[in-house]
Structure 1
Amino acid sequence: MNRIQDGLARFACLLGTLCVGLLAARAQSTNFYVFLCFGQSNMEGFPGLEAQDKGPVNERFQVLAAVDFPTLGRKQGQWYPAIPPLCRPSAGLSPADYFGRTLVSNLPPHLKVGVVNVSVAGCKIELFDPDNFQSYAATAPPWMQNIIKGYGGNPYAHLVAMGRRAQQDGVIKGILLHQGESNTNDKDWPRKVNAIYQRLLHDLQLRAEDVPLLVGELVPADQKGACASMNKIIQTLPQTIPTAHVISAQGCAARADRLHFAPEGYRELGRRYAAKMLSLLGYEPGRARPGNAQ
């Protein structure tokens, strides 16, 4: 009798597990395309928004708040219309903005797009190394440490946590990176990026062939970029990561500091990220440039 009871208990436990799995599968929509974004200040978004960028935006473009946005009424871990800033309350326009706007303007109307942005201004790529970030973070200036604290002291772990939260609702279709200014001329940068990419794939149970890595160039030489020499190293990334794709920044307008893009530069760079992603998804990007609510 005890064996029968034990067997029934195990069956009930298994049945419960299966039911939970089925409910999770139902909750997750394959029509909701999610993209993880990380990097330093240009992916974070340089402060200052122009009127044309403030919205409204198409309701099919959503942002998962990676931190609380008190003045905007956003809570960490919840989805909201993707009106900038998308990364942190004090950030501004970034490539992620017009990446998402361009995608929803070109994808079929039944598809939604969501972005998750965990970026840290001024950081080296080492900050996203889950095994060695502590030593780098310990030497960071106070202002950067405050940003890191906002991500629970571990930006990589926070990105993974937010990625898992996003997977409850949608499917991760790509990863966007914009970083390198703080690693200028670091020839080991491609290996470091690959290590992070592979770890993200493992921790989020993703496959490289399903989740490409899109990496943007820094302010280029034609804009007198202060770190333009790093673009030669960035351009070699596909040699290390076959599923990586480099997004050109040629002609993307820069600010006077020669490190950050101007708003029009962010818009164009975001469209270029989107054009590449659309082609990888099997869609032909349209020629129209999306406005705020398209």
Structure 2
Amino acid sequence: MGTNMKKLILSLAAAATLASAAPDPNFHIYIAFGQSNMAGAAGAAEPETKPYPRFKLLPSMDCPAKGRTMGVWTDATSQLANCDNPPSISVADYFGRTLVDSLPDVTVGIISVAVGGTALKLFDKDNWQAYLEDPDRQKENWIINWAKAYDSNLYKRIIDLAKIAQKDGVIKGIIVHQGESDWNNNHWAEDLKKIRDDMLTDLGLSSDTVPLLAGEMREDGCCRGFSTSQVQRITKVMDNAWPVSSSGLGSAGDSYHFNRDGYIEFGKRYAKVMLEHMNRAPVEPVPQQPFHGVAATIPGRIQAEDFDIPGVGSGNDSYKDNDSENHGDSGYRKDTGVDLYKKGDKVVVGYNQEGEWLEYTVKVAETGKYDVFASVASANNTSSFKLSMDGKDITESIAVPKNEGKDNYDDFNSVIAASGVNLTEGEHVLRFTVTGSWMDIDYITFAVSGDPITPPDSSVGIIRSYAMNAASKNYRVFDLMGKVLGSVRVDGSAFETSLKTAGYNKGIYLLQSADGIRRTVRLNR
């Protein structure tokens, strides 16, 4: 554990001892992150190096020369994001000062984390490590070393500090200036939404009451088109997100940065936009909707690609994907970030990674016990998933059998996810969650317990119909968790007799032969 991390843990522990003091509703806290324009690139003058009444900073690193301790409130003087001396000013300096001037009864606090030259991925909780380990990044020593000042995990540093801040005040907004290093990223707005949503979730906040502001790039600089194609597009990609104009702001003499007057004016513009939206009426939430307009029926088959249409407002998402890009080749539902692939004449959900999930509005026809099956494929022996209903697990983590052959994601296995699950009549939300990466899923089927589960073309059977070879054949035997239990030789179609003779007890088993014949067998003894 690094020294900085130990200090931060101590700060968190110290903050916990103050739990008896309720957060001050008039202490407004803002998270500021980005690259060099948020870090600061124009020399500070005397006004910015002096304390400003009711303007505070929660340092994101120790700065002994400035008398700062990470995680302990202090006066907000330049430089806010790091320990540079002589200091520079950034967008955040006059954003905070202008808010203080506009809100006479309010104290304003800033949490500032910034790394010059970085792409947005460095702030993504799921992608920062891969970004730093990329061979191209290893050549950019300044990014690697700058990130180390935050123990390399910038997202975690922001969240840890924000949790300390929540003991004292209320997080009222997020401000961002980043994009010069993402000028060719056509999914930047979606990537920013993911980061914003992750922050809100981890901090227990709502987008209804926490605006996000993103500033445009220099209008006469390298990335003018990015301001139009991505920054201004955030209003269409996420709710309560607003662009801040950079029109007419002064240049530092390069293609990327603003001069001191530019930062002062830009900070004031951020504050003006925040003041316009910080007290806005909450967004009227719209719940997620079934993809085909009606809930999927149980008993029945649920196609994985037909997850719900996302709603509006916090808590109404219908899926979580670790990145915003649809990597699939099917052309189906390209307006989402879920990876949908074409497999023959069907569409499947692929490229599934741990932590991702999909939700489906379902309607259970009758209260009772149900068996649950899933059609899945994997070329790995570590892939797995689980199912939940209305937030409660209805299965354990289910292993997906590894296919024979290298990179074989084409052979779909019928896995028994659960047997005898109690479901109540009415409408519910089913969630499919990936617990082990790299698997594909075609569909999920619910069948009434005790009903036949392998009839041809059944609306409730998940097992495909295969012609049973009359000759003797060896089968591998799996349990409900997908674990290999052994093998059995079956004469013709005498599956139950063969299993009993081999010593298998009462239960449900999945049998699979080397040539692809699969059969689910229930032993009732």
Q: TM-score range by the shorter chain?
A: 0.7 to 0.9
Pick the aligned partner of 1:88 from 82, 85, 89.
82
Question: 2:252 matched to which residue of 1?
Answer: 255
Structure with the largest fraction of strand = 2
1:133 maps onto 2:128 in alignment? yes
After TM superposition, give the deviation of residue 52 of structure 1 in Å. 3.6
Distance 1:21 1:57, change over 3 A: closer
1:195 maps onto 2:200 in alignment? no
- For residues 218-229 of structure 1, the aligned pairs below 5 Å read 218-220=217-219, 224-229=220-225
SS in 2 for 1:115: strand
- Matched residue type, 2:32: C
Question: 1:71 matched to which residue of 2?
Answer: 65
Distance 1:21 1:265, change over 3 A: closer
**Higher relative contact order by CA 8 Å / sep ≥ 6: 1 or 2?**
1
Question: 2:206 matched to which residue of 1?
Answer: 207
Contact 2:124 2:195 in 1 (8 A): yes
Question: 2:239 matched to which residue of 1?
Answer: 242
After TM superposition, give the deviation of residue 205 of structure 1 in Å. 0.6
**Aligned alpha-carbon RMSD (Å):** 1.8
Distance 1:62 1:44, change over 3 A: same
- Matched residue type, 2:152: G
User: What is the rounded CA distance, in whole Å, between the counterparts of 1:53 and 1:158 in structure 2?
Assistant: 25
User: What is the rounded CA distance, in whole Å, between the counterparts of 2:45 and 2:227 in structure 1?
Assistant: 28
SS in 2 for 1:229: helix
1:44 maps onto 2:48 in alignment? no
User: What is the rounded CA distance, in whole Å, between the counterparts of 1:120 and 1:74 in structure 2?
Assistant: 19
After TM superposition, give the deviation of residue 25 of structure 1 in Å. 6.0
User: What is the rounded CA distance, in whole Å, between the counterparts of 1:42 and 1:25 in structure 2?
Assistant: 38
Deviations along 1:29-49, one digit per CA (max 9) or x if unpaired, are 111000000011101111522
Distance 1:28 1:122, change over 3 A: same
Question: 2:357 matched to which residue of 1?
Answer: none
Question: 2:227 matched to which residue of 1?
Answer: 231
Distance 1:268 1:114, change over 3 A: same
After TM superposition, give the deviation of residue 27 of structure 1 in Å. 3.6
After TM superposition, give the deviation of residue 23 of structure 1 in Å. 6.2
- Matched residue type, 2:70: Q
- Matched residue type, 1:55: K
User: What is the rounded CA distance, in whole Å, between the counterparts of 1:177 and 1:64 in structure 2?
Assistant: 17
Contact 2:81 2:114 in 1 (8 A): yes
After TM superposition, give the deviation of residue 54 of structure 1 in Å. 2.3
Question: 2:25 matched to which residue of 1?
Answer: 30
User: What is the rounded CA distance, in whole Å, between the counterparts of 2:16 and 2:94 in structure 1?
Assistant: 35
Contact 2:61 2:149 in 1 (8 A): yes
Contact 1:34 1:174 in 2 (8 A): yes
Which has the larger Rg? 2
Contact 1:184 1:227 in 2 (8 A): yes
Distance 1:22 1:180, change over 3 A: same
Pick the aligned partner of 2:264 from 263, 267, 272.
267
TM-score calculated relative to the size of structure 2: 0.48
After TM superposition, give the deviation of residue 112 of structure 1 in Å. 0.5
User: What is the rounded CA distance, in whole Å, between the counterparts of 1:62 and 1:151 in structure 2?
Assistant: 20
Identity of aligned residues (%): 39
After TM superposition, give the deviation of residue 21 of structure 1 in Å. 9.5
Question: 1:155 matched to which residue of 2?
Answer: 154
After TM superposition, give the deviation of residue 282 of structure 1 in Å. 4.3
Contact 1:185 1:229 in 2 (8 A): no
Question: 1:142 matched to which residue of 2?
Answer: 141
- For residues 12-27 of structure 1, the aligned pairs below 5 Å read 24=19, 26-27=21-22
After TM superposition, give the deviation of residue 56 of structure 1 in Å. 3.7
Question: 1:105 matched to which residue of 2?
Answer: 101
User: What is the rounded CA distance, in whole Å, between the counterparts of 1:99 and 1:126 in structure 2?
Assistant: 25
Distance 1:74 1:239, change over 3 A: same
- Matched residue type, 1:81: D
Distance 1:28 1:117, change over 3 A: same
- Matched residue type, 1:108: P
Question: 1:289 matched to which residue of 2?
Answer: none
- Matched residue type, 1:228: R
User: What is the rounded CA distance, in whole Å, between the counterparts of 2:131 and 2:16 in structure 1?
Assistant: 39
- Matched residue type, 1:35: Y
After TM superposition, give the deviation of residue 258 of structure 1 in Å. 2.0
After TM superposition, give the deviation of residue 77 of structure 1 in Å. 0.5
**Structure 1, unpaired ranges of 5+:** 1-19, 284-294
Pick the aligned partner of 2:273 from 276, 279, 282.
276
User: What is the rounded CA distance, in whole Å, between the counterparts of 2:148 and 2:266 in structure 1?
Assistant: 29
Deviates more, 1:171-180 or 1:145-154: 145-154
Distance 1:33 1:175, change over 3 A: same
Structure 1 runs (4+) greater than 6 angstroms displaced? 20-23
User: What is the rounded CA distance, in whole Å, between the counterparts of 2:36 and 2:17 in structure 1?
Assistant: 40
Distance 1:25 1:95, change over 3 A: farther
After TM superposition, give the deviation of residue 71 of structure 1 in Å. 1.1
Contact 2:30 2:109 in 1 (8 A): yes
- Matched residue type, 1:255: A
User: What is the rounded CA distance, in whole Å, between the counterparts of 1:47 and 1:256 in structure 2?
Assistant: 11
SS in 2 for 1:26: coil
After TM superposition, give the deviation of residue 198 of structure 1 in Å. 0.4
